[in-house]
Structure formats: structure tokens, C-alpha cells
Amino acid sequence: MGIITTSAGLEMLLRWGHFLSGVAWVGLLYYFNFVQTEYFKDADAAAKSDVIRKLVPRALAWFRWGSVATLATGLGIFAVRGGGMSIDIYIGALLGIFMFGNVWRLIWPNQQIVIASAEQVANGGEALPELAEALAKAGLASRTNALFSIPMLFFMGASAHYPHTFSLFALIVAVAVILVIEYNALYPLLKNLDAVKKLPAGGIMGPIASIKGVVHCGLGLTIVLFLILEFL
């Protein structure tokens, strides 16, 4: 039998699937953040409604199931390798897992409200009262994912081409930095929980409201995480 039947062959197939599904997922993430949102700023109400009701559900289907396939194949690679990889892959994987959670806990549920509201208006009704809040939650989570994707892709590549030695201290510091940003995205979901009522207010779009801002913040986060792994 050929090498494709060995663990190395299985890992190669999983990596192939990981690349394919990751391209679909992140590609659509960039479409939503860098193309569709900018189009919506200029589109008239009828065109925007048509896109939300007919195009967005199709794109979101590929988007969310692409995230599932990316996570599943990534976990499969970990299972085949059995650990022992550089710290870079763990940082990249953590960012990917947070991105996956944001898709299913924030982006998709709130986009369902946006789509339902557009359908209701198209049928002569009123927009859903929770529309504005849903747009804000989905937008913040989507921008956060776009920000995370930049260091995520760097560290996925670095794991094979510029690996760092594992350091528990560096991992803890890097995770803490990532958690601060993720908390900001999750705050609208968590704000009613007793455990976070006393924490500082979050859910701020800030500089990631613009395309330039999210790209610069993503590059900045990449540099910060890289320096943590390089020197700690």
C-alpha cells in the first residue's frame, strides 16, 4: 500500500482539507468585512434588502460550515500528530477556536435576526426591534474574527517555517492578551451574567470599525504575540 494509508498520508489529507475549508471560511470572512459591509454603506434600501434576503444566507451557510470543517480537520491533525508541536501552532489553534465560537455564538445567531427582519420588512411589516442590537453584536464579532485571522494565519505558517520553543510562561502571557480582545467581543453575550457584571464595560468597536483599523490591529496583534514568543 502507498504512503497515503499511513499516518503521514492521513495527516496530509487532513491538512489538505484544513486548507480547503480554511480558504472558504476566511475568504468569506474577508468578503463580509471588506466587501459586503462597504457595499452596504452605498447601497439603496431595496438593493441592501435583496442582498440580505437572498445572498447573505447562502454565503453564511458556506461560512459557518467552512468553520466546522476547518476546526474538525485541525483537531484531526492534532490527533494524528499526538502533540509535540511548536507553541506557534497552539497560538494559531487557540485563535481559530475563538473565531469558531464567535461564528456560532454571536455572528450566526444575530445574522438570523438580521435576515428575519429584512424578510419581515420585505413582506410589508416593521423591522424587528432587536435589529440594531443584533447588527452591533454580529459586526463586533465579525471584526474581531477578521483581526484574529491575521495572527492566526501567521502562526499557522510559523509552526512549520519559523517555530518557537514551547514556553509555558510565553503561552500564558499570549493567551492573556488574546482573552482581553475576545472578552470585548463576548461582552454583549456575557453582560447579563453575574460573573461579569462588576467587570469593566466592553463591547467596543473602536479602531476595528474601519477596514484600515482592523488590518492595522491585526498586524499589531501579530507583532505583539510574535515578540512574546520570541523573548519570553
- Are 226 and 154 within 8 A, CB to CB? yes
Helix (H) or strand (E) holding 74: helix 56-81
- Rounded to whole angstroms, the Cα distance separating 174 from 150 reads 15
**Residue 219 confidence (pLDDT):** 97
**Residue 171 confidence (pLDDT):** 95
**Residue 205 confidence (pLDDT):** 78
**Residue 31 confidence (pLDDT):** 97
- Rounded to whole angstroms, the Cα distance separating 72 from 18 reads 8
**Residue 197 confidence (pLDDT):** 40
pLDDT in tens, the chain (232 residues): 567 778 888 889 999 999 999 999 999 999 999 999 999 999 999 999 999 999 999 999 999 999 999 999 999 999 998 777 889 999 999 999 999 999 999 999 999 999 999 999 999 899 999 998 889 889 999 999 999 999 999 999 998 888 888 899 999 999 999 999 999 888 766 665 444 344 344 457 788 889 999 999 999 999 999 999 999 8
Q: Could you count the other beta carbons within 10 Å of the beta carbon of residue 125?
A: 10
Specify the residue for cell string 464567535: 102
1 burial level (CB within 10 Å; 0-12, 13-18, 19+): exposed
Q: Which residues are within 8 A (CB) of 177 and not within 5 positions of it... i.e. 6 or more apart?
A: 221, 224, 225, 228
Dihedral angle at the C-alpha atoms of 200, 205, 103, 78, nearest 10 degrees? -70
**Residue 195 confidence (pLDDT):** 40
DSSP-assigned letter for residue 202: -
**Residue 59 confidence (pLDDT):** 97
What is the pTM (predicted TM-score) of this model?
0.91
**Residue 192 confidence (pLDDT):** 54
Q: How far is CA 171 from the centre of its chain?
A: 20
Q: Could you count the other beta carbons within 10 Å of the beta carbon of residue 109?
A: 15
**Residue 185 confidence (pLDDT):** 85
Look up residue 6 and give its three cell numbers. 499511513
